[in-house]
Amino acid sequence: MQAQYMPSEVESKAQQDWESRRAFIVDESSDRPKYYCLSMFPYPSGKLHMGHVRNYTIGDVLARFHRLNGRNVLQPMGWDAFGLPAENAAIKHGTPPADWTYNNIDFMRGQLKSLGLAIDWEREIATCKPDYYRWEQWLFIQLFEKGLVYKKTAQVNWDPVDQTVLANEQVIDGCGWRSGVPVEKREIPMYFMRITDYAEELLEELDHLPGWPEQVKTMQRNWIGRSVGVEVHFPLLSEDGVLKVFTTRADTLMGVTYVAVAAEHPLAEKAARNNPVLARFIQSCRQGGVSEAFVSNLEKKGMSTGDYVRHPLTGEALPVWVANYVLMGYGEGAVMAVPAHDERDFEFAKEYGLPIKPVICSGSERIMSSCDKATTDYGVLIDSGVFTGLSSKEAIIRIASALEEVGLGLSRVQYRLRDWGISRQRYWGCPIPIIHCSLCGDVPVPERDLPVILPEAVTVTGAGNPLAYMSAFVETTCPRCGSEAHRETDTMDTFVESSWYYARYASPDSSQAMVDDRARYWLPVDQYVGGIEHAILHLLYARFFNKLMRDAGLITNNEPFVNLLTQGMVLKDGSKMSKSKGNTVDPDQLIKQYGADTARLFMMFASPPDQSLEWSDAGVEGAFRFLRRLWKTVYDFMALPETQEVGQMSVELIALRRQLHETIVKVTDDYGRRQTFNTAIASIMELMNSFLKIQEVHLTARKIQRELLENMVILLSPIVPHICYVLYGALRPNESLLDAQWCLVDEEALKKEEEEIVIQVNGRLRGRITIPVNATREWVESRAESDSQVERFLAGKKIRKVVFVPHRLVNIVLENE
């Protein structure tokens, strides 16, 4: 063993050993229970960033911990390889997206390997390869045939100069990022997946995911947005038909003073035909992007259509307005406006001088005459005809049945969740396997013709989808009638690939099926690790696909991820590391200077995984110092001269050994249950500090020191696997850490005879005493009251009561003066 800690030598030796022993290549024949540990696969953007290093270290720590605890651990890796950046790079550098992507993958694979992750690299997948995406196309066809995929139009951001569809992130302040001109909303046909068919199950199953953060489940619940309410039908005044709206506040129905429809609503479009001013207004609503964040920040604008509807219960004529705050995508694309009890309606009514009619009185509040704000609280109905005096809750039921009686409404459930539009007018994605035939319509590609291969040799210009100009791709024959036909040139949303990759890792080489029997062994994923930014979309789509695959008979589990750990971001100087801010840290540079173990240790020590992590060069230095000290401690121990002195089990040694076993208990809990690696490291550091205080050199001391070092190396090994692998080999020359077991707790060593507790007077700390662990409450209380530090706070006062918390404190509460 060398006296000096040389990270590069240690790490290359360890990595070579692991590779030659095929240590992390797994199969399903093990008799140990399986543990599938998955970190979100990276987009091959060029090189690893610190967020990746953090993500994959967290996953690796858990994988290695569970391996030491006897599990058959699968930790795979792959590439989320389709996506927009490859096209942007192609436009900028003229490199085809495929070349750019494969080069990035090769480079990043090398970087990942240098981190020393316990990955089964034989299961690597890249979603841009036909042997992966053919199964996505296969499933698409199954869904198409089941009616779970359908076609309708949807709004997109249209750049009128570049003549192309823009992603939301490519729209800045309502303008195209390259052209700089205002974007427009445009309706185009798209394929949709019926995720709303699964809304109820996706919502309900959240209650059965105890291993998910509450925060994520709340976000998903709100996103699905189940609401129970009433669909109200307002008969049109000038013709047959009704205007449908959905409301959760039927109790306010008698306070409706107008109705508002989205600019794209058929009623608005019809009214605009004979009204050029309205047509111009509707046209102006088309300006700007489609994202909800953009739309909801717009100043509220509207215009009367000149049409009226009848109130379903009073028959009163109510004006129909077009309003830019009404979204076509939610509910019926129309709302009943109750300005007195809805903030947006209120603001709009004020702006356009529409009447405000209060119908709910909440609490002791006085009835407003000319109110200055909307009150959205539930209360008691006023000025509401036969419903006056009812509570909101009762009124909702009564009004719903009154509507049902006249055939102008019904109670129903509405979801905020919308069906998933998966068509993208982009080249670098999975081709949608549909052939358009003028006679047969949209015909799915027959299974025998899969995959529909994406041509990789292309020139990307940024204007339109290059696939559309490739006649060899587009021109084909109809599989049904044989006549001339053309292929769909849209590709799928890249969220589709990442919605099922976790299942493919189980059988990555299967050429006969999307997933095979091995998926039943590995699924569900026991631990999923990834960024909190994926809390809604990716995780919801992945849950949805799991259910689709289950219903296609491929797998049997209901949910894909048993436990979810959402990691926080890596910050430097208080903000997210990014190229544009110039505050990035290069992982390669870091590993070159200090080694992967130091990088891993710092990242795990700096904060708990689910919080953001503030980068600190000095902190990295500190992590490196600790590893150097660990190395030197083991080296010094091994180099101790022989001794014959037997020695005594001193108080210090007993305490040290107790600390070791307390640390094992704590670290095991920190890795396994709490997943707070920072506190695990801190307690190992404390153990190390105690170790270094021991001066005794006899055989008894040495035995305990060895016990400490061997255990410490195992405790740290999930976080800093290379140095621990080598140190373990030095401590136990004929053994390998790869075959080691997790540390065992000696309950005997944990036993204590005395403990310290604190004494409070009126909740304030006034003293501390050491007591026998088995002391009775009475004994402790009398000791506390007679304590010299405490007595003076009790002088002349009457004790009202004494609170006793075993192992912690005695609180003496005095009478008030």
Site for RNA in 359-418 (CB under 7 A): 416-418
At its nearest, how many Å lie between RNA and the CB of residue 271?
Answer: 27
| 3-state secondary structure labels for all residues of 218-238 | HHHHHHHCCEEEEEEEEEECC
Q: Is 790 helix (H, G, I), strand (E, B) or coil?
A: helix
At its nearest, how many Å lie between RNA and the CB of residue 666?
Answer: 5
Which residue, 23 or 585, is less far from RNA as judged by CB? 585
Which residue, 382 or 532, is less far from RNA as judged by CB? 532
Edge-first strand listing for the sheet containing 613-614? 575-576, 570-572, 613-614
Binder of RNA out of 628, 658, 732, 783 (CB under 7 A): 628
Edge-first strand listing for the sheet containing 754-761? 764-772, 754-761, 809-814, 799-805
With binding defined as CB under 7 A, does residue 674 bind RNA? yes
At its nearest, how many Å lie between RNA and the CB of residue 575?
Answer: 6
β-bridge pairing 78-79 and 125-126: parallel
At its nearest, how many Å lie between RNA and the CB of residue 297?
Answer: 5
Binder of RNA out of 477, 616, 643, 648 (CB under 7 A): 616
In sequence order, the β-bridge partners of residue 302 are 323
With binding defined as CB under 7 A, does residue 629 bind RNA? yes
Contact segment (CB under 7 A) with RNA among 79-87, 244-252, 368-376, 382-390 equals: 79-87
With binding defined as CB under 7 A, does residue 209 bind RNA? no
At its nearest, how many Å lie between RNA and the CB of residue 460?
Answer: 14
Which residue, 73 or 590, is less far from RNA as judged by CB? 590
Binder of RNA out of 137, 324, 676, 717 (CB under 7 A): 676
With binding defined as CB under 7 A, does residue 248 bind RNA? no
Per-position x/- string for 319-358, each x denoting binding to RNA as judged by CB under 7 A, each - no binding? ----------xx----------------------------
Amino acid identity for residue 747 in this structure:
E
With binding defined as CB under 7 A, does residue 83 bind RNA? yes
With binding defined as CB under 7 A, does residue 215 bind RNA? yes
With binding defined as CB under 7 A, does residue 43 bind RNA? yes
Contact segment (CB under 7 A) with RNA among 1-9, 518-526, 605-613, 645-653 equals: 605-613
With binding defined as CB under 7 A, does residue 765 bind RNA? yes
Which residue, 118 or 460, is less far from RNA as judged by CB? 460
- One DSSP character per residue, 576-606 reads E--TTTT----HHHHHHHH-HHHHHHHHHHH
Per the CB < 8 A criterion, the answer to whether 133 and 144 are in contact is no
With binding defined as CB under 7 A, does residue 789 bind RNA? yes
At its nearest, how many Å lie between RNA and the CB of residue 807?
Answer: 8
Binder of RNA out of 54, 64, 600, 766 (CB under 7 A): 766
Respond yes or no on whether the N-terminal peptide bond of residue 189 is cis (omega within 30° of 0).
no
β-bridge pairing 799-805 and 809-814: antiparallel
With binding defined as CB under 7 A, does residue 775 bind RNA? no
Which residue, 538 or 732, is less far from RNA as judged by CB? 538
Q: Pull the structure tokens for residue 141.
A: 């066809």
At its nearest, how many Å lie between RNA and the CB of residue 759?
Answer: 9
Which residue, 314 or 616, is less far from RNA as judged by CB? 616
Q: Pull the structure tokens for residue 365.
A: 């509040």
With binding defined as CB under 7 A, does residue 134 bind RNA? no
With binding defined as CB under 7 A, does residue 601 bind RNA? no
Contact segment (CB under 7 A) with RNA among 240-248, 641-649, 681-689, 737-745 equals: 681-689
Cα gap 177→527, rounded to integer Å: 39
How many other CB atoms are there within 10 angstroms of residue 651's CB atom?
Answer: 8
Contact segment (CB under 7 A) with RNA among 116-124, 610-618, 634-642, 707-715 equals: 610-618
Q: How far apart are the first and last CA of the chain?
A: 71
Question: CA torsion sign, 453 to 454 to 455 to 456?
Answer: negative
Cα gap 288→385, rounded to integer Å: 43
At its nearest, how many Å lie between RNA and the CB of residue 238?
Answer: 33
Which residues contact residue 312 at a Cβ distance below 8 angstroms, ignoring those fewer than 6 apart? Answer: 232, 233, 234, 235, 253, 403, 406, 408, 409
With binding defined as CB under 7 A, does residue 293 bind RNA? yes
Cα gap 249→256, rounded to integer Å: 11
Which residue, 290 or 399, is less far from RNA as judged by CB? 290
Binder of RNA out of 12, 69, 679, 700 (CB under 7 A): 679
Q: Which of residues 709-748 bind RNA (CB under 7 A)?
A: none
β-bridge pairing 484-487 and 491-492: unpaired
β-bridge pairing 34-39 and 72-74: parallel
At its nearest, how many Å lie between RNA and the CB of residue 443?
Answer: 22
Which residue, 293 or 472, is less far from RNA as judged by CB? 293
How many residues are given for the chain? 817
Q: Pull the structure tokens for residue 427.
A: 């080249």
Which residue, 549 or 681, is less far from RNA as judged by CB? 681
Crossing angle of the two packed helices 617-638 and 596-606, in degrees rounded to 10? 120
In sequence order, the β-bridge partners of residue 231 are 246, 410
Per the CB < 8 A criterion, the answer to whether 625 and 594 are in contact is no
Which residue, 8 or 690, is less far from RNA as judged by CB? 690
Per the CB < 8 A criterion, the answer to whether 514 and 138 are in contact is yes
Which residue, 307 or 488, is less far from RNA as judged by CB? 488
Per-position x/- string for 637-666, each x denoting binding to RNA as judged by CB under 7 A, each - no binding? -----------------------------x
Q: Is 481 helix (H, G, I), strand (E, B) or coil?
A: coil
Per the CB < 8 A criterion, the answer to whether 33 and 72 are in contact is yes
With binding defined as CB under 7 A, does residue 685 bind RNA? yes
With binding defined as CB under 7 A, does residue 306 bind RNA? no
Cα gap 330→764, rounded to integer Å: 56
Contact segment (CB under 7 A) with RNA among 53-61, 203-211, 266-274, 670-678 equals: 670-678
Q: Pull the structure tokens for residue 494.
A: 């890249």
Q: Which of residues 495-554 bind RNA (CB under 7 A)?
A: 495, 498, 532-538
Binder of RNA out of 16, 284, 762, 786 (CB under 7 A): 762
Per the CB < 8 A criterion, the answer to whether 326 and 334 are in contact is yes
| 3-state secondary structure labels for all residues of 34-93 | EEEEEECCCCCCCCCCHHHHHHHHHHHHHHHHHHHCCCEEECCCEECCCCHHHHHHHHHH
How many other CB atoms are there within 10 angstroms of residue 700's CB atom?
Answer: 15
Binder of RNA out of 71, 233, 424, 543 (CB under 7 A): 424
With binding defined as CB under 7 A, does residue 798 bind RNA? no
> Pick from 414, 394, 389: which is nearest to 335 by CA?
414
Report residue 772: phi and psi, to 5°.
-65, 145
With binding defined as CB under 7 A, does residue 288 bind RNA? no
Binder of RNA out of 95, 612, 700, 736 (CB under 7 A): 612
Binder of RNA out of 669, 696, 707, 785 (CB under 7 A): 669
Binder of RNA out of 291, 411, 510, 583 (CB under 7 A): 291
With binding defined as CB under 7 A, does residue 163 bind RNA? no
At its nearest, how many Å lie between RNA and the CB of residue 750?
Answer: 14
Which residue, 137 or 494, is less far from RNA as judged by CB? 494
How many other CB atoms are there within 10 angstroms of residue 648's CB atom?
Answer: 11
Per the CB < 8 A criterion, the answer to whether 28 and 518 are in contact is yes
With binding defined as CB under 7 A, does residue 438 bind RNA? no
Respond yes or no on whether the N-terminal peptide bond of residue 641 is cis (omega within 30° of 0).
no
Instruction: Report which secondary-structure segment, H or E, holds 441.
Output: strand 441-444
Kindly state the number of chain residues that form the binding site for RNA, as judged by CB under 7 A: 104
At its nearest, how many Å lie between RNA and the CB of residue 3?
Answer: 12
